[in-house]
Chains A and B, each alone.
Chain A
Amino acid sequence: MQVLSVEGLAKAFCLHEQRATIPSCSQVSLTCWAGKLTAIVGPTGSGKSSVLKCIYRTYLPSAGQILFREPDGKVTDLALADEHEVLRLRRGGIGFVTQFLSCLPRRSALDVVAEPLVAQGAQRAEARRRAGEMLARLAVPERLWGVAPATFSGGEKQRINLARGLISRPRLLLLDEPTASLDPGTSDLAARLIEGIKAEGIAMIAIFHHPDLVRRLADDVVELAPLVSVI
């Protein structure tokens, strides 16, 4: 079942100070189905992250349609949806694993990962248990579970980020370079986790820096080309 359909998406940044319009991506179209992963590939600067951010509404799309279908059949154009709609969808339907972990300073890794479940109404103890399972599957050592991630290495932070993004099983999951800081072994663990999520019927759009992962995980590939900026 089709979860997301993007058509003619374009994003340009209007920088008032520099009096410049910087285009980021243009004429992007892609579709995404439940249980399938669509990969976005292209050289640096081709606007891959922008596409994900436009879908998540961190960026306001300059043009195009982003149609998201919910399980009950309701279709929303994310490009035009009002803020409360978007917040509602982010809570329940759309997840985003960003490149960098941003979280409250004092929360332990376990609580950071448990957070999305608690926000959905789960009991904290149960949420923590499932967070532990997730962290174990990503080979995060137990001695780190009670520690705040601020001092973790890049790879450790990324695994926390990934665990947090995957734990709540959103309908659509956006992944921006989820394995960038991971070594091959852990990268493989992450890939297996992603395969498992796919099997559960979650639709995913992902940017992978490693072509192997694209080959292994993607059911569909969209290629972007960099745009020439206009001064």
Chain B
Amino acid sequence: MTQKILEVRGLSRIYGHGCPMCLASTGPEHDTNVCGHCGSIVALHDVGFDLFRGEILGIIGESGSGKSSTVKMLYFDDTPSAGQAIFHDEGQRHDLFRKNAAQQRSLRNKRFGMVYQNPHLGLNFQVSAGGNIAERLLMSDVAHYGEIRRRSRDLLARTEVLPERMDQNPKTFSGGMQQRVQIAKALVTRPPLLFLDEVTTGLDLSVQAAILDLILEIQQELDTAMIVVTHDLGVIRLLAGRTLVMKHGRVIEAGLTDQILEDPQHAYTQRLVASNL
């Protein structure tokens, strides 16, 4: 029986000072994130889920659904207004939002991986592609030049980046290749948990297919647990075993991916699935 790697409960985030009416006047029923009374934005409210080791969880929703915010909180790019996230790793229980900044940075560098939609957030454009991966290894205290070169080369090969481009600046790479460098960078420390935020959005179809393929292969090989955030139902169907559907900051439905896509229960999910081209 696989164990839980992540338990999220009551995750919430409000931008603005908030007021007693905020929760009641926002959400899927009101079709808005913005509180009519005070103007605060309820980006997330009471998001909860479990993630098991080696599992791929999908989070699907449209813009403003809070899917990216969820992952941002877990990766410490932003601080939640409320909620708890327990990360189980190597027999230890980490209460993520209670950790101090240094501990969070350590977990982020060594135990999590993140691939952003925008490569400028995930890559350092002042060093080469190999340098980006080296940076991550150096952050996790690998100090052997030869080993850094070897592991960077291996991972770039796995992500199908041509070896002769390893020492080039990623500025010169295509979007798909930049994403592949990001994936290599995220995986080089073999993290047990990987976040993927709209990683194929905006890429050419053929490149999308290649990257999805790569993600699955890697997942099988390394048994990495993943949270895949996307608005694309096709990506969810191919990657995720279970899926959360989010709208206006709330989780409105959760279940097996094929069940969500073929037998959606919630009105919004039904509309979403029916609108798929």
Contacts and interface: CB of A to CB of B under 8 A. Distances in A.
Q: Is there a direct interface between A and B, measured as CB atoms under 8 Å apart in the complex?
A: yes
Given A17-B270, A102-B237, A58 B259 contact: yes
Interface in A69-104: 83-84, 86-88, 102, 104
Given A15-B270, A107-B213, A86 B237 contact: no
B209 A17 contact: no
Interface string A96-127: 00000010111100000000001100000000
Interface in A153-176: none
B256 A87 contact: yes
A16 interface: yes
B262 A58 contact: yes
Q: How large is the interface on A (under 10, 10 to 19, 20 to 34, 35 or more residues)?
A: 20 to 34
Contacts of B216: 104
Given A16-B267, A17-B271, A106 B220 contact: no
A63 interface: no
Interface string B120-145: 00000000000000000000000000
Contact of A104 (B55, B213, B241, B266): B213
A14 B265 contact: yes
B76 interface: no
Nearest to A14: B265
Contacts of A83: 242, 255-256
A23 to B, nearest CB: 14
A16 B213 contact: no
A119 B210 contact: no
Given A14-B265, A58-B256, A83-B255, A105 B209 contact: yes
Interface in A15-33: 15-17
Contact of B52 (A84, A102, A119): A84
A209 interface: no
Contacts of B1: 88
Contacts of A86: 256
A152 interface: no
A17 B268 CA distance: 9
Interface in B42-80: 52, 55
Interface in B68-106: none
A104 to B, nearest CB: 6
Interface in B223-277: 237-238, 241-242, 255-256, 258-259, 262-263, 265-267, 270-271, 274
Interface in A27-62: 53, 57-60
A88 B3 CA distance: 12
17 contacts: A13-B263, A15-B270, A17-B267, A17-B271, A17-B274, A57-B256, A58-B258, A58-B263, A59-B262, A60-B255, A60-B259, A60-B265, A87-B242, A88-B1, A104-B209, A104-B238, A105-B209
Q: Which 4 A-B pairs have the closest CB atoms?
A: A16-B267, A105-B209, A59-B263, A58-B258
Interface of B: 1-2, 52, 55, 209-210, 212-213, 216, 220, 237-238, 241-242, 255-256, 258-259, 262-263, 265-267, 270-271, 274
